[in-house]
Amino acid sequence: QTNGRQPARRTRRIAPPNRRMAAMEAVETTQMAEDVDEMQQEEEGQASYYHVVELEQHGVSHQDCQKLAAAGFCTVQSIAYATMKSLCAVKGISDSKATKLKEIAYKLVPCTFVTASEELQQRQSMIVLSTGSKELDKLLEGGIETGSLTELYGEFRTGKTQLCHTLCVTAQLPLDQGGGEGKAMYIDTEGTFRPQRLQAIAERYGVDPGCVLENVVYARAHNSEQQKELLKQACALMSEDRFSLLVVDSATALYRTDYMGRGELSERQMQLAQFLRALTRMSAEFGIAVVLTNQVVANPDGMAFAKDATKPIGGNIIAHASHTRLQFKKARGENRVCKVIDSPSIAESEASFSVGAAGIDDAKD
């Protein structure tokens, strides 16, 4: 206030009604676009892969995309991870086409270095699936890890198949309940899959048994070639829907019977290695937890003086392919013992759990 005069006030111009309406509509449109972008980013974050039809926007014909999908290359990631030899083996894909596919795939899926801090952030957001037992989850630092292979081996009646059935239910639970919010896939090679077990486990967790059964897809493999071929169908299903678990029970039984004697040992190990490599690729490609069971044989090395009377079959091939190896042993009554044999992050230790009508649970006193 100077010389008795009021200070000058800024006047705000009021836009005409039609202009205000247009501005409000523009803001709403922008907000809707941002919401759509966020939803797409969330979906991409959940999916973390591109379907093979994405290549059509980069000059690849629809027929070639169909040929690739039929051969098991259902995502752009699978093409980026594949070798030129395997791409050229697809009928109708020449060397020049394979080279072009690899160039496009590397643009969409950059294969480059990242810092350790970025990798740490990614691993901290990794989903783990509850086993149904608190002690077992504690041993495994939360549960079965997604994006990796977990091998379960042990004698008969040690709870391997029961854990696989329990995981088929927990994989469908919400994230805050130790689930993966996805479907489960079960490849059975020994005829031990029982849907009624899933119903009992679903009732334990208070979820609809019918919905649980609908969200588990099942296939029976009768020979090792069919077992390997089923992975192509698995990739096709996973590229169309959200899965969080793939179970192979057991991974080695058919290879053990299809290849007999030392004369076929080399061929068996090579075929088994290719099967395990495909599982490793799928775990990274779709972000699923791959759980495979393994049989054991008598360990003749130390006979009565050996620490373990049995050892898992498959040799070093399956030992190197598995990220986490768990040994199951019998204990008193319904109780079982799980021992961590090999893991990149978990120390060698043990935990007790029980096997009951409702799957895997805490150990009984």
DSSP string, 211-274: HHHHTEEEEE--SHHHHHHHHHHHHHHHHHS-EEEEEEETSSHHHHHHS-TGGGHHHHHHHHHH
Distances (CA, A) of 288 to 50, 84, 144, 365: 15, 25, 10, 34
Q: How high is the pLDDT of residue 1?
A: 44
Q: Torsions phi, psi of 152, nearest 5?
A: -115, 125
The pLDDT value recorded for residue 221 is: 96
pTM of the model: 0.83
List residues bridging with 298 in a β-sheet. Answer: 310
CA 281 to centroid of chain Cα atoms = 10
Structure tokens at 202: 């679903």
Output phi, psi for 62, to 5 deg: -65, -35
Q: Which residues of the chain have pLDDT under 70?
A: 1-47, 301-307
Q: Is the Cβ–Cβ distance between 108 and 56 less than 8 Å? A: no
**pLDDT of 292:** 96
CA distance 157 to 161: 9
* The predicted structure's pLDDT at residue 13: 43
| Res 4: pLDDT | 46
Residue 65 to residue 56: CA distance in whole angstroms = 7
With tokens 């599982």, the residue in question is: 279
* pLDDT score recorded for residue 365: 79
